[in-house]
Amino acid sequence: MSKSLLLFLFFAALFTSCAPSPQEDATKVCDCWSKAFKLSRMDEAKQIEAFDACEKIYKDVLLKLENNPEDKGKFVEAYDYCRENPSGH
């Protein structure tokens, strides 16, 4: 194999292995919402800002996974579990 092909395969493998899993994405979104809800008693403006940020993360993950139904299903399942069991993720 040529060096450039080996280099390409190496970086392709590195890139895909560094991408967060659907479960990690779900945990990230759940953690965001948990933190946003804790702001409710402190500062309403910051809470709204946090809600917007969480919504953006959620939509970005769905957009990233739109062409991968298997990973999208894993994300939705993990996200649903996380929402139903906030202390269990």
C-alpha separations of 17 from 11, 44, 84 in Å: 10, 39, 29
pLDDT in tens, 9-67: 444 444 444 678 999 999 999 999 988 888 866 688 888 899 999 999 999 999 999 99
Classify residue 44: in a domain, yes or no: yes
Sign of CA dihedral 65, 71, 76, 80: negative
Classify residue 89: in a domain, yes or no: no
Domain count, the chain: 1
pTM for the complete prediction? Answer: 0.70
Classify residue 61: in a domain, yes or no: yes
Classify residue 63: in a domain, yes or no: yes
Query: What's the pLDDT band for 88 if we cut at 50, 70, 90?
Result: low
